[in-house]
Amino acid sequence: MKILVCISKTPDTTAKIAFTDNNTKFDVNGVQWIINPYDEWYSLVRAIELKEADASTLIHLVTVGAADAEPIIRKALALGGDEAIRVNTDSHDSFYIAAQIAEVARQGGYDLVFTGKETIDYNGSSIGGMVAELLDLPYISLATKFELAGTTATVTREIEGGEEVNEVALPFVLSATKGMAEARIPNMRGIMAARTKPLKVQEPVAVDALTSVSGFGLPPAKAGVKLVDAENVEELVRLLHEEAKSI
Amino acid sequence: MSVLIFIDTAEGHVKKASLEALTYGAKVAEQLGTTAEAVVLGTTQDDLPALGKYGVKKIHHVNNDNLNHLDAQVYTKVIAEVAAACGADTIIFSNNVNGKAIAPRLSARLKAGLVAGAVALPDTSQGFVVKKNVFSGKAYAMISVSTPVRIIALSPNAYQTLAGEGTAEVVAFNTSADAPKVKLVSVNKASGEVPLTEAEIVVSAGRGMKGPEHWGIVEELARTLHAATACSRPVADAHWRPHNEHVGQTGFAIAPNLYIAIGISGAIQHLAGVNRSKVIVVINKDPEAPFFKAADYGIVGDAFEVVPRMTAAIKKLRGIA
Ligand SMILES: Cc1cc2nc3c(=O)[nH]c(=O)nc-3n(C[C@H](O)[C@H](O)[C@H](O)COP(=O)(O)OP(=O)(O)OC[C@H]3O[C@@H](n4cnc5c(N)ncnc54)[C@H](O)[C@@H]3O)c2cc1C
């Protein structure tokens, strides 16, 4: 079995969010970069577990980005995975990225394509669905469990107020969220091995982006907290009822 | 030209998030000087003409057994057909669980620019620009869509439902939907509880509760307020509470009218998922807890004393003994 795992580079969760160039670009100054948590903790680790259960499984990682994405992809290789492909381009919009991943997927003939639920920077939740459509494959989003028996997968996904279990035959695309697997830390052996694992660089296919960012902004700051004495909880309830009108 | 709104259903009933999408879509149609139409797939028990009160004029109902459960691949093809038939240049989804599955597919299929997680009406003064949250709510971006057809997936709880007068004309749309490849095996829904992403009020608790055995007072407050319950990440990671309650940058992003945070410190990753809540109340025994900076109302005190008092005060307000 061959699995393609999509890996995205995102700012660390504590990164200062600021913009430059008249609020049109994210300020990367001093930002630490991490593997997008949904890609790392859930999608990649679940793929690694599948390989641990069946050693013949091949895991390929794909990232769409410039050379500065390489430390991230090496870290992902240190966790597991056999080889990586970097599509050498500055990223544009979700559709542009999805089209690059779909091209890699077509070339590799994968049984499964895994993505994270969303990236924590653009929160698009779009790549998996777009890749699936471009490949004309089924898509299961927000997957919290994945089991495989032969060529049929049983996938649990989030729905409003609960979850549902679906069955679907390979090949297909899924987006992974919490529940799929437990986060891991790469070990020394993995880090050493990652240094010599193949990391192929390929040029992007020509695709037009469908959207662009015309500007960024920060939400207005809160006016300040109104503190109520712990002995006077009725006053808080009164404020919530009469002033905030939220209960 | 028209605006087409996707009406999402669960067990045959229209979801609350779709009422928001309908209200929003009708407003977009008004802005663009066209009419709002909608599409609903599969069997439904709800009164579809009555949805006209949200401003939709015409509803295309594709009642086909292959559409009774979501297979995003099958749904996408059918919605694309309906969109073509009614000449839609703007297609609206809720960015809820099903919207996230379908809207990106439709975007790729139609080469239609997608704004996933819109929080405001489009600005059409210069092109077509839609505001959405980025960096898990720590910032917003203005997304410019230049394609002939555009898709907006509206963030749940970002746009107020507004019911007026009116009845929608419901027309059967006949097409042969493909047999689904995704088969539903089972649904597991906590009955009687308010789904977190749809809740108006959310009562959330963190490590300050010391252990899962103490959640009774949290649940009691939530029940009294008809609220959903949520928790911080360490609480879900320690299996004190189920994963589907974890809110924050790496859990659910929510935007209720009221968010009550009990014994949660307010780490940046937690705030990221909840800072779009309209009103935030923090109960924490540490006056230095960072959450107070992001709060509207706060009580510095011991949750084990404050929370039962709050429940009692709300019962009193509502006249419940
Ligand atoms: C990559 C990454 C992603 C993350 N994503 C998320 C996320 O999505 N969501 C999330 O929540 N966290 C996330 N975190 C974790 C986050 O950094 C914090 O560690 C976490 O939110 C803390 O949870 P807490 O507030 O419940 O616990 P703590 O930080 O331990 O805070 C407990 C609070 O309870 C108060 N308290 C204690 N006893 C009482 C009492 N009797 N009465 C009242 N108050 C009391 C304390 O004063 C304290 O403020 C993430 C971290 C990382 C590194």
Output the pLDDT for position B190.
77
Same domain, B20 and B113: yes
Max CA distance (Å), chain A: 67
Contact between B276 and A202 (Cβ < 8 Å) = no
Q: Is the CB of B273 under 6 A from ligand 1?
A: yes
Task: Classify B256 as helix, strand or coil.
Answer: coil
pLDDT tens for A140-180 read 999 999 999 999 999 999 999 899 999 999 999 999 999 99
Looking at residues A10-24, what average pLDDT do you find?
A: 96
DSSP code at position B239: T
Question: Inter-chain contact A125–B310, Cβ cutoff 8 Å?
Answer: no
Question: Which residue among B103, B107, B193 sits closest to A161, beta carbon to beta carbon?
Answer: B193
For residue A60, give the nearest of A27, A86, A95 by alpha carbon. A86
Question: For every residue of B131-168, which 3-state class applies, written as one string?
Answer: EEEEHHHCEEEEEEECCCCEEEEECCCCCCCCCCCCCC
Q: Is the CB of B231 under 6 A from ligand 1?
A: no
**C-alpha to C-alpha distance for B112 and A45, rounded to whole angstroms:** 33
Question: Inter-chain contact A213–B142, Cβ cutoff 8 Å?
Answer: yes
pLDDT tens for A200-218 read 999 999 999 999 999 999 9
Same domain, B141 and B228: no
Output the pLDDT for position B65.
94
Q: Which amino acid is at B165?
A: E
**C-alpha to C-alpha distance for A235 and A232, rounded to whole angstroms:** 6
**C-alpha to C-alpha distance for B242 and B263, rounded to whole angstroms:** 18
**C-alpha to C-alpha distance for A127 and A87, rounded to whole angstroms:** 15
Crossing angle of the two packed helices B72-85 and A127-135, in degrees rounded to 10: 80
Q: Note the pTM of the prediction, 2 decimals.
A: 0.96
Ligand 1 centroid vs B234 CA: distance in angstroms?
7
Q: Token digits for B136?
A: 């898990």
Looking at residues A18-36, what average pLDDT do you find?
A: 97
Query: Counting atoms of ligand 1 from 1, which one is nearest the CA of B234?
Result: 23
Question: Inter-chain contact A94–B116, Cβ cutoff 8 Å?
Answer: yes
Q: Which of B215, B231, B260, B284 to mutate to test the pocket of ligand 1 (most atoms within 8 A of CB)?
A: B284
Give the contacts of B146 (CB within 8 A, at least 6 positions apart).
A210, A211, A212, B113, B127, B128
Residue in chain A nearest B116 by alpha carbon: A124
Q: Is residue B224 part of a domain?
A: yes
Query: Counting atoms of ligand 1 from 1, which one is nearest the CA of B302?
Result: 42
CATH of range A2-217; options 3.40.50.300, 3.10.580.10, 3.40.50.620, 3.10.129.10: 3.40.50.620
Output the pLDDT for position B312.
97
B59 has which bridge partners?
B38, B170
Residues of chain B with pLDDT under 50: none
Q: Which amino acid is at B50?
A: A
**C-alpha to C-alpha distance for B205 and B230, rounded to whole angstroms:** 7
Same domain, B163 and B201: no
Same domain, B56 and B202: no
Q: Is residue B216 part of a domain?
A: yes
ipTM > 0.90 (yes/no)? yes
Q: Which amino acid is at A119?
A: T
Q: Is residue B145 part of a domain?
A: yes
**Residue A91 pLDDT greater than 80, yes or no:** no
Same domain, B9 and B135: yes
Q: Is the CB of B264 under 6 A from ligand 1?
A: yes
Q: Which of B215, B269, B285 to mutate to test the pocket of ligand 1 (most atoms within 8 A of CB)?
A: B269
Contacting residues of A for B272, CB less than 8 Å apart: 13, 120
Q: Which residue has the tokens 């669905």?
A: A129
Same domain, B208 and B115: no
Same domain, B241 and B297: yes
Q: Is the CB of B252 under 6 A from ligand 1?
A: no
Same domain, B54 and B156: yes
Output the pLDDT for position A239.
98
Same domain, B89 and B207: no
B24 has which bridge partners?
none
Q: Is residue B190 part of a domain?
A: no
Same domain, B105 and B148: yes
Question: Inter-chain contact B190–A169, Cβ cutoff 8 Å?
Answer: no
CATH number of residue B22's parent domain: 3.40.50.620
Same domain, B215 and B269: yes
**C-alpha to C-alpha distance for B155 and A226, rounded to whole angstroms:** 29
Q: What is the full DSSP assignment across chain A?
A: -EEEEE--EEE-TT----EETTTTEE--TT--EEE-HIIIIIIIHHHHHHHHH-TT-EEEEEEES-GGGHHHHHHHHHHS-SEEEEE-S----HHHHHHHHHHHHHHHT-SEEEEES--TTT----HHHHHHHHHT--EEEEEEEEEEETTEEEEEEEETTEEEEEEEESSEEEEE-TTS-------HHHHHHHHHS-EEEEPPPP---SEEEEEEE-PPPP---EE--TT-HHHHHHHHHHTS---
Give the contacts of B110 (CB within 8 A, at least 6 positions apart).
B80, B83, B149, B151
Q: Token digits for A10?
A: 């995102």
CATH number of residue B233's parent domain: 3.40.50.1220
Output the pLDDT for position B195.
87
Contacting residues of B for A211, CB less than 8 Å apart: 113-115, 143-147
Same domain, B223 and B147: no
pLDDT tens for B95-145 read 999 999 999 999 999 999 999 999 999 999 999 999 999 999 999 999 999
User: How far is the CA of B25 from the CAs of B4, B106, B297, in angstroms?
Assistant: 7, 17, 34
Output the pLDDT for position B84.
98
Question: Which residue among B187, B295, B298 sits closest to A162, beta carbon to beta carbon?
Answer: B187
Q: Is the CB of B250 under 6 A from ligand 1?
A: yes
The structural domain count of chain B equals 2
Please state whether beta strands B258-262 and B201-205 pair in parallel, antiparallel, or not at all (unpaired).
parallel
Q: Token digits for A134?
A: 């471009």
Output the pLDDT for position B321.
61
Q: Is the CB of B286 under 6 A from ligand 1?
A: yes
State which residues form the domain around B28: 2-172
Question: Inter-chain contact B182–A218, Cβ cutoff 8 Å?
Answer: no
Contacting residues of A for B197, CB less than 8 Å apart: 160
Q: Count interface pairs A-B at CB distance under 8 A.
A: 282
Ligand 1 centroid vs B232 CA: distance in angstroms?
6
User: How far is the CA of B195 from the CAs of A158, B90, B113, in angstroms?
Assistant: 11, 29, 30
**C-alpha to C-alpha distance for B269 and B260, rounded to whole angstroms:** 17
Output the pLDDT for position A161.
87
Contacting residues of A for B201, CB less than 8 Å apart: 246-247
pLDDT grade for A43, boundaries at 50, 70 and 90? very high
Give nearest CA residue, ligand 1 atom 11: B232
Contacting residues of B for A214, CB less than 8 Å apart: 129, 142-144
Question: Inter-chain contact B116–A142, Cβ cutoff 8 Å?
Answer: no
Our measurement of the distance from residue A54's CA atom to the centroid of its chain's CA atoms, rounded to an integer in Å, reads 24
